[in-house]
Amino acid sequence: MSDWQTIRLGAACEKIGSGATPRGGSEVYQATGISLIRSQNIYNDGFKRDGLAFIGKTHAEELENVTVQPGDVLLNITGDSVARVCQVPEEILPARVNQHVAIIRPKTNILDARYLHYFLIHPQIQAHMLGLAGAGATRNALTKGMIEGFEIKAPSFSEQRAIASVLGALDDKIELNRRMNETLEALVQSLFKSWFVDDTQSALPKGWRETTLEDAIVIHDSKRIPLSSRERALRRGKYPYHGAASVMDYVDDYLFDGVYTLIGEDGSVVNDDDTPVLQYVWGKFWVNNHAHVLTGKNGVSVEHLLLFLKTVNIRPFVTGAVQPKLNQGNLCRVPFVLPPETVCKEFAGIIEPMFTRIRANIEESRTLAALRDALLPKLLSGELRVPSTNRE
């Protein structure tokens, strides 16, 4: 690393500054328009479109000085999400940022923006930023002065770009897989609607019957075993440990092996649109007692069940004001239209290859992410170097 230099971020950037909230606050948000990026859109593994706000041209003109440009690095500077970093995707431009997000724009030929992004998500740098943000304050915050004072170890500009290219190729493939899955998920949901919703609006076809979910599901809850955080700490391993809404940990053994749909039982039960909290899971995994574990029966596949549950208003079946709960009895009472088994199996045969592709894309992305995370500290420390012949 003798040829590497220390760059002070304030000297290497043409812009470092936070955004602003348009006059009128959230009341001026609209369904379409110019993107207003907020902290909930920024994650170290990429930009999240969920919750992206939009404002009109007039309000965007008020925020002209916080216009986002292609390649800008965005950094969360306040609250629980402080220190999260991503680069802005060009497809959401034009865009502005609110007061919880800082724009960092490096100078050309001094500091590569993508290299800076990877530098800022390095675990040691993340720990450093979190330490700064929480030092002596009632609320986590990174100031402009703190950001300008960051010192970055960097090789030549050409090697910066080469390092960013190696890591970026992995992230680009992960993003491609995400988009492919987004398209496949929209397609299978559309197929479900055309088979089981549109064709049953006026009258049920012959052999179809109105019943409840009890006739379409097998509940495997008896196999669930909760583990306390202390128990999980003593049993670290490779198998996902699922809670009501997501993977909570990884443990040294598994309870289930196969493809299942999980639906939240306690706590995280209902989404904002009143649909149930669902997980589509496969392989070997453990589940605690806060998620029901389901497969289908009478010809209904796990995927058919998943697609149906994504359309259900589950709120009327949830009890508990303080701790929402969807018990087995209420889950079984959800209305369900059951087609003949031959129809269900024909539908399963059509959608199964698409779900196989979805699972394969997710597995590949996990492998690529693990490879990226292993390479990142080695490339950014100089332990691994990109051959000079490959830098341009």
Distance (Å, whole) CA 15 – CA 103: 7
CA distance 13 to 16: 7
Domain 5-154 has CATH 3.90.220.20: yes
Is the model's pLDDT at 342 over the cut of 70?
yes
Instruction: Mention the CATH class of domain 209-338.
Output: alpha beta
Q: What is the 3-state secondary structure (H, E, C) of 214-256?
A: HHCEEECHHHCCCCCHHHHHHCEEEEEEECCCCEEEEECCCCE
Task: Give the pLDDT score at 268.
Answer: 87
292 close to 247: Cβ distance less than 8 angstroms: no
CA distances to 94, 184, 274, 343 from 16, rounded to whole Å, are: 19, 39, 40, 59
For 149-205, the pLDDT digits (tens) are 999 999 999 999 999 999 999 999 999 999 999 999 999 999 999 999 886 667 888
Q: Contact 196/337 with Cβ under 8 angstroms?
A: yes
Whole-number pLDDT of residue 387: 79
Q: CB-side exposure of 311: number of CA atoms within 13 Å?
A: 15
Average the pLDDT over 9-29 and give the result.
90
d(CA 71, CA 9): 16
Selection from 347, 312, 324, 20 nearest residue 208 by Cα: 347
Residue 391 pLDDT: 52
Specify the pLDDT at position 93: 93
* Half-sphere CA count of 231, side-chain side, radius 13 A: 7
d(CA 260, CA 200): 27
The predicted model scores a pTM of 0.87
Q: Where are the domains of the chain?
A: 5-154, 209-338
Tokens encoding 382: 């100089």
Cis-peptide into 94, omega within 30 deg: yes
Residue 88 is given by DSSP the state P
- Same fold? 5-154, 209-338: yes
Q: What is the pLDDT of residues 200-250, one digit of tens each?
A: 667 888 999 999 999 999 999 999 999 999 999 999 999 999 999 999 999
